[in-house]
């Protein structure tokens, strides 16, 4: 995925060579959207409001950290959220509920991280309608579903669509897959409820998007030792030594930039997105720093000096105000539940 991000950043020979396949992809995906819009293919309601956090580009735009923030924010507001995800990279067949000790190889690294960071019920499955059904059957207290990714999974009806765009890379060269990063045309952003731009460090907001957007800042939080996650330190307080910065995420440069900004001396090593880490990939006796998405796959064999960097996610206040007002309109169940609780 890392080399593709460079190729997708501009139009070149690579783009021209793959343009026939991109045209075919655009036609097929367009027909599929039309089929759902016209009702030729049926969509299904989950029974509770559904918030989709997705994007129109391939690669890491920041969906999962925003999903984690959203779920924890919903809990702080008194809701009972659950999460559904495809479980990309996992081997699970059908629908599987994610536990804190589930193998990442089975359920996928991102759903496992969401479960670890939120403690809410999470179910993975290629069929998100079936995943939603399982989640609600097992956890009837859930009053809102959050779909990690799934913007293009039109079979599941949604109440609110949040599209995430990485401010550094934007929409790349603007071409559909595989010549570019687009899963859907850029005008799709005009149809979602809100577009959020993920900003890392000194990156500027993009002004070339077809719609206005909200700002969400990602910054380096504290780090914890994989062998004992209760041991945390500010990133700048890690020992002054040469670190191996290893990561298997869609946009590794953002991670490396955070380390550099904190004054960490490191050697970067980027693996493919969703890489299934093995003990031989990293030095057991070395000083290693990684993202939390990588860490959930390394807990069982982590060396003593392996640390995971947490992300601080900070949406702009106006976005939170908008989201709060919108959800209050869509989730009257919380009000009814509070009234019932007061009666008892």
DSSP per position, 72-126: HHHHHTT--EEEEE--TT----S-EE--TT--HHHH-HHHHHHHHHH-S-EEE-S
Q: Is residue 12 part of a domain?
A: no
- At 211, list the tokens: 């719609």
Angle at 115 between CA 313 and CA 154, to 5 degrees: 85
Number of separate domains in the chain? 2
User: Are the CB atoms for 112 and 98 separated by under 8 Å?
Assistant: yes
Q: Is residue 232 part of a domain?
A: yes
**Cα→Cα distances 91→37, 107, 165, 299, Å:** 32, 7, 28, 19
DSSP tag of 57:
B
Same domain assignment for residues 273 and 210: no
Same domain assignment for residues 52 and 185: yes
Same domain assignment for residues 162 and 262: no
Whether the model pTM is above 0.85: yes
Same domain assignment for residues 163 and 305: no
Same domain assignment for residues 206 and 274: no
Q: Is residue 2 part of a domain?
A: no
pLDDT per 10-residue tile (average), the chain, 344 residues: 75 93 96 96 95 92 96 96 92 93 94 97 96 97 95 96 96 95 96 96 91 96 95 94 94 92 95 93 97 95 97 97 92 51 41
Neighbours of 71 (CB within 10 A): 25
Same domain assignment for residues 256 and 308: yes
Same domain assignment for residues 255 and 271: yes
Q: Residue 59: what pLDDT? A: 78
User: Are the CB atoms for 68 and 176 separated by under 8 Å?
Assistant: no
Q: Residue 3: what pLDDT? A: 65
Neighbours of 70 (CB within 10 A): 23
Q: Residue 340: what pLDDT? A: 42
User: Are the CB atoms for 306 and 290 separated by under 8 Å?
Assistant: yes
Same domain assignment for residues 72 and 41: yes
The CATH number assigned to the domain holding 155 equals: 3.40.50
Using CB atoms within 10 Å of the CB of residue 154, give its burial: 0 to 12 exposed, 13 to 18 middle, 19+ buried: middle
Q: Is residue 166 part of a domain?
A: yes
Pairing of strands 50-54, 144-148: parallel
CA nearest neighbour of 120 among 86, 81, 85 = 81
Q: Residue 295: what pLDDT? A: 97
Following DSSP, what letter does each residue of 157-192 receive, concatenated? --SEEEEEEETTTTTTTSPBTTTSSBSS-GGGGGTS
Neighbours of 117 (CB within 10 A): 19
Residue 144 to residue 160: CA distance in whole angstroms: 11
Same domain assignment for residues 154 and 41: yes
Q: Residue 89: what pLDDT? A: 82
Same domain assignment for residues 265 and 127: no
Q: Residue 41: what pLDDT? A: 96
Same domain assignment for residues 103 and 65: yes
Residue 181 to residue 58: CA distance in whole angstroms: 5
Residue numbers of the domain that contains 229: 220-313
Q: Is residue 1 part of a domain?
A: no
Pairing of strands 228-234, 214-225: antiparallel
Residue 95 to residue 130: CA distance in whole angstroms: 7
Strand partners, 54: 163
Q: Is residue 8 part of a domain?
A: no
Q: Is residue 113 part of a domain?
A: yes
User: Are the CB atoms for 221 and 244 separated by under 8 Å?
Assistant: no
User: What distance lies between CA 68 and its chain's CA centroid?
Assistant: 8
Q: Residue 331: what pLDDT? A: 77
Q: Is residue 77 part of a domain?
A: yes
């Amino acid at each position: 995925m890392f080399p593709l991000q460079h190729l997708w950043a501009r139009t070149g020979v690579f783009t021209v060579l793959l343009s026939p396949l991109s045209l075919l992809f655009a036609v097929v995906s367009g027909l599929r959207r039309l089929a759902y819009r016209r009702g030729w293919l049926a969509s299904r309601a989950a029974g509770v409001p559904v918030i989709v956090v997705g994007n129109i580009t391939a690669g890491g735009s920041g969906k999962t950290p925003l999903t984690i923030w959203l779920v924890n924010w919903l809990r702080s507001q008194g809701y009972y959220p659950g999460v559904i995800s495809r479980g990309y990279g996992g081997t699970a067949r059908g629908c599987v509920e994610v536990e804190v000790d589930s193998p990442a190889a089975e359920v996928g690294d991102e759903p496992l991280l969401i479960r670890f960071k939120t403690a809410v019920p999470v179910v993975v499955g290629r069929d998100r309608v079936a995943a939603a059904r399982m989640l609600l059957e097992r956890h009837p207290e859930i009053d809102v579903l959050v779909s990690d990714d799934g913007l293009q999974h039109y079979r599941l009806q949604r109440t609110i669509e949040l599209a995430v765009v990485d401010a550094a890379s934007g929409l790349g060269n603007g071409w559909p897959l595989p010549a570019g990063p687009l899963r859907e045309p850029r005008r799709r952003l005009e149809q979602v409820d809100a577009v959020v731009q993920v900003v890392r460090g000194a990156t500027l907001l993009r002004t070339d998007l077809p719609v206005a957007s909200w700002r969400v800042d990602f910054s380096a939080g504290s780090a914890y030792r994989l062998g004992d996650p209760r041991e945390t330190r500010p990133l700048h307080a890690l020992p002054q030594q040469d670190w191996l910065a290893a990561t298997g995420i869609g946009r590794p440069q953002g991670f490396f930039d955070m380390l550099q900004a904190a004054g960490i001396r490191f050697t970067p090593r980027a693996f493919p997105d969703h890489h299934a880490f093995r003990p031989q990939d990293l030095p057991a006796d070395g000083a290693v720093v990684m993202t939390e998405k990588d860490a959930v796959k390394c807990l069982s064999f982590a060396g003593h000096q392996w640390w995971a960097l947490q992300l601080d996610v900070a949406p702009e206040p106006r976005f939170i105000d908008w989201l709060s007002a919108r959800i209050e309109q869509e989730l009257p169940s919380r009000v009814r539940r509070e009234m019932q609780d007061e009666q008892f």
